[in-house]
Structure 1
Amino acid sequence: MDSYTPITLPYFAPDHLLPAPLPTLNQVLSSTDYVVAPPGRFSKQFAVVRVGSHFLAKYGPDVHRLEGENMIFVSQQTRVPVPRVYAIYGYAGDATMIIMEYIEGVTLHNCLETLGPEELKYIGKKLRAQLNELRQIPAPDYYGALGRRPIIDFYKCRHHRPVFTHGDIHQMNVIVRPDGTPVLIDYESSGFYPAYRESLVASSIDRYLDFLDEKFMDEAHILSEALKAWTRARNEENCDHDCNHDCDHDFDHDLDYDYARSAAFQKSSGSPFMFT
């Protein structure tokens, strides 16, 4: 893995791999079939749109080539289902365009309440197998993204071996196909990290799917306490003590992932899947 060479931009998949002619920049930017409308999530500057029946495009200043590169890497190294990447290139100065395969299905967020125990068990079993296969990718001798890209100091520890990690598994980043197969999307945070990182990030949906082989409860407790301490310190720093409101906020709150994948993917009144 130390010899890994990042792809060269602009990247375009060979023509014989395209399901249809690749959409042009103008076709993408003029599409209003939004999956995520601008300005994006959490104040990030990006958008996600469908272009025709085959393509999904993610673009904007806060889109990183690494997301597309990670998906290409996973498709080369494993049999894990991942959106095919057809193009990665820069435009308008500091913006990045990633054109990929459109995955038919609904987000776990939009179908979770309609799924029965056996369906949840099926999805969890599939996700478990996918994560285990990702972890079998030969690991380098460092923690970080592909090509030894920079890494947050928090991960520079040696308590766990590095394994390839998706890094952002939550309900909006799991697409469930009509046959029940889960497909992980949004590989921007992926890389080689300590084995416990996936567990800490994905714990919010593991309680439904039970797909994590290792729970890393000690590390989860340490992180929880650290986040609570950080939140208290932040609130104390930002609070105006002349106000009448209480500054002792708790960290215990649910992340709000209430943003739609698209208008076509609203919550169904029954399970839309045919599990095999």
Structure 2
Amino acid sequence: MVRPSVPPEYITQHDGTEHLAINNTWSRRFLTRLALHTTAKFYSRDGLCVPISKHKIVKTGFRVHLTEGATLKYLAENTTIPVPRVYCSFLHRNRAYIVMERVQGQELPTILKTISKESLEGVFSQLRKIFRELRALPPPPGTGVESCIGGSLYDSRIPRGNPRFGPFKTIQDFHFWLRQDLKPEDLQDREKDQDWYDLQDMMDRQDESWPPPVFTHGDLNPFNIIVCEGNVAGIIDWEFSGWYPHYWEYTSAWFGNVTRTGWQSMLDRFLDRPRPEELKMEEVRNKWWGEF
């Protein structure tokens, strides 16, 4: 197996993170790397995830970080949310490896073709319960915008956030960073057109007082929801997760799935929609500083 070279900006992202490893023994490291060179050849790779058996996958790549394994452990210990079990995680030659459960079932878009209306409503009812439990997790005192272990975050949809960003002491600090440190006085010489008013309103709302952050999946697309026999078997891909402003779960799912209009229309069936002014705030930010 020939590994691609690591981009320069990713070389230092693992510095000081060795303590996040889980069940990090020599035998587990050896057997994992052995499986990647042997049994993995019998399965199809799915992005960053490499199946090594019917029940286990290894998530690895230069963008993979031990924080995701720590997040899955945190959720397993503090919630009843169905997440993949982590068997071990470790660093090897400046690359993270997370060995986890291969959740059995089908991605939500697949079952939408055949599921009954009643069964689908049951899935959405389960999702409502799952995300209410997630958002009810109490943030530790002094929590800002950060990962579950108080560290940096990852979101490939934020151009400025490569390879990782944060943590931020406050939500206002996070907002200031998102808009690339733009201040109201920076617009003084700009023509007062609709964009000017939109940006001023966005900054006013971003800089106001905010309630405490809530724990957020951050990449809520239908392919990250696994369903088996009418039940939600797993919520997967937690690499974007962390403590974020309360609107972030909904707006990241909405603006991150602009080509999946059917999915956008389903969000209200299990997530609370933010206030209209918060949606507008994020719409303006995404126009100027988002990926889309």
Aligned residue type for 1:8: H
Specify the alignment match of 1:227 in structure 2: 286
Aligned residue type for 1:134: L
Are the aligned partners of 1:55 and 1:102 in contact in 2 as well (CA < 8 Å)?
A: yes
Partner-residue secondary structure (3-state), 2:127: helix
1:25 paired residue among 28, 33, 46: 33
Q: Which moved more, 1:134-143 or 1:100-109?
A: 134-143
Specify the alignment match of 2:191 in structure 1: none
Q: Which moved more, 1:107-116 or 1:184-193?
A: 107-116
Specify the alignment match of 1:136 in structure 2: 136
User: What is the RMSD of the two structures over their aligned residues, measured on CA atoms?
Assistant: 2.6
Specify the alignment match of 1:79 in structure 2: 80
2:69 and 2:230 map into 1 onto residues whose CA distance is: 25
Are the aligned partners of 1:168 and 1:187 in contact in 2 as well (CA < 8 Å)?
A: yes
CA deviation string 1:191-242 (max 9, x = no partner): 11111101112235352251013343322222123323447xx9xxxxxxxx
| Richer in helix (by share) | 2
Partner-residue secondary structure (3-state), 1:49: strand
Distance 1:183 1:136, change over 3 A: same
Q: Does residue 34 of structure 1 match 2:54?
A: no
CA deviation string 1:91-119 (max 9, x = no partner): 1x221110001110111133333333222
Identity value in percent: 30
2:175 and 2:67 map into 1 onto residues whose CA distance is: 19
1:52 and 1:155 map into 2 onto residues whose CA distance is: 43
Distance 1:193 1:9, change over 3 A: closer
Count of aligned positions: 211
Specify the alignment match of 1:269 in structure 2: none
5 Å matches for 1:1-276? 8-12=19-23, 23-30=31-38, 31-32=40-41, 33-36=43-46, 40=47, 47-91=48-92, 93-140=93-140, 141=142, 142-149=144-151, 150-151=166-167, 153-155=173-175, 158-203=209-254, 204=257, 205=263, 207-208=265-266, 210-230=269-289
Return the offset for 1:186: 0.7
Distance 1:230 1:214, change over 3 A: closer
Aligned residue type for 1:207: S
Structure 2: any 5+ residue segments left out of the alignment?
A: 1-16, 152-165, 177-206, 258-262
Are the aligned partners of 1:143 and 1:155 in contact in 2 as well (CA < 8 Å)?
A: no
1:54 and 1:84 map into 2 onto residues whose CA distance is: 11
Aligned residue type for 2:69: G
CA deviation string 1:143-174 (max 9, x = no partner): 21123212375347642321111111101211
Are the aligned partners of 2:70 and 2:149 in contact in 1 as well (CA < 8 Å)?
A: no
2:18 and 2:228 map into 1 onto residues whose CA distance is: 29
Partner-residue secondary structure (3-state), 2:231: coil
Are the aligned partners of 1:83 and 1:102 in contact in 2 as well (CA < 8 Å)?
A: yes
2:32 and 2:288 map into 1 onto residues whose CA distance is: 48
Aligned residue type for 2:266: Y
Distance 1:230 1:138, change over 3 A: closer
Specify the alignment match of 2:3 in structure 1: none
Aligned residue type for 2:174: F
CA deviation string 1:49-95 (max 9, x = no partner): 2222221111122111111110000000011111100010111x221
Aligned residue type for 2:84: P
CA deviation string 1:27-70 (max 9, x = no partner): 1243131241xxx4xxxxxx312222221111122111111110
TM normalised by structure 1 equals 0.68
TM normalised by structure 2 equals 0.64
Aligned residue type for 1:224: E
